[in-house]
Amino acid sequence: METTAPTRLVELFPAEISEQLGLPAFQGKQIFRWIHAKKVSDFDAMTDLPKALRQRLHEECVAHGVELVEMQTCARTGTKKALLRLGDGESVECVLIRDRDRITLCVSSQVGCALQCDFCATGLAGFTRNLSPGEIAAQALVLLKDEDLGERTPNIVYMGMGEPMRNYDNVVRSIRLLMSPEGLGIGARKITVSTAGEIKRIEDMAREDWQVRLSVSLHAANNPLRSRLVPLNRKYPLERLHETLRSYQAISGRQITFEWTLLREVNDQLQHARELMDYCRGLRVSVNLIPWNPVEDLPYETSTREACVAFAETLNKRGIKTTLRQERGQDIDAACGQLRRTKGSLA
């Protein structure tokens, strides 16, 4: 005899909770607030709910069904990386990054990744499945559980494991859950979705009724090199990506960020900076430079500090706003491209 899977409440908006459980609207809001705003997953702790309702929730539902397996904290910067086990036994990682009084959460959208970018550790484990909207939102709730944010809200970047645009519908719903004023209430402009260049979904995102930001993992501005580093470029070469990004900006009016992971003597030379400057023409963009961190089994080296600074200065002098990111999670393998599953434990 088949048993009914418990209702995963983190997936549902307040009205949906009320409808599915046959509850008054105010109780749907109460449950949603407990899970999202107060980050409580224990029904017994939801003290303003009647005891009979709490018992029913125990019997029929789970708050989010995501288990924290391990949390690593960088002693120097306070960056935290969490390993989470999902209901089917799969696992994902997510990161909380501190920068003075600013907190940024880096969340995953898939278990593994199918894109196989040449310098990225996440793809080494292959692709297993998409995450549900609640599994994505729950990462933020777990990371923030012990954080005292006061009146602030965190930034959210969809730059963890996976290609968000290949899980588009679930990513969109998770964003709307995180934006809900009954929950975390995160403003759209504090949320960024990263893509390696999924053209059709960039077009879809341009038509969304929000100000969520778009980031493109570029890493090279000539086709031979980018096709080597980002195999998706073979399907959607730079010329087509540029055309799509121009259309995106014409429709949405929003700026784009280019992510560029610096690899020693691969894409960190002045000629590469000049190619990037040329590619930025006709677009309103900023550039985020990310020094690469060594990953076992990958044939790359970290760029020198001098090369990183020279690259950034070249772009800034041409009026392209460029940030050279300071890595904040090296000692816990939380840097860009280093989120990967390794036998159920943190990399």
Catalytic residues: 93, 336
CA 246 – CA 258 distance, rounded (Å): 14
H helix intervals, the chain: 14-21, 25-32, 51-60, 133-144, 168-179, 199-206, 223-229, 238-252, 270-279, 305-317
Residue 26 CB: number of other CB atoms within 10 A? 10
Contact status, residue 28 vs residue 181, Cβ threshold 8 Å: no
- Please report the sign of the dihedral spanned by the C-alpha atoms of residue 336, residue 338, residue 344, residue 346: negative
Question: What three-state secondary structure class fits 85?
Answer: strand
CA 161 – CA 126 distance, rounded (Å): 11
Phi first, then psi, for residue 296 (nearest 5°) are -55, 140
Question: How many Cα atoms are found within 13 Å in the side-chain-facing hemisphere of 321?
Answer: 7
Instruction: State CA 151 to chain mean position distance.
Output: 23
Contact status, residue 109 vs residue 160, Cβ threshold 8 Å: yes
β-pairing, 61-62 with 91-99? unpaired
Q: Which residue has the tokens 């090279």?
A: 220
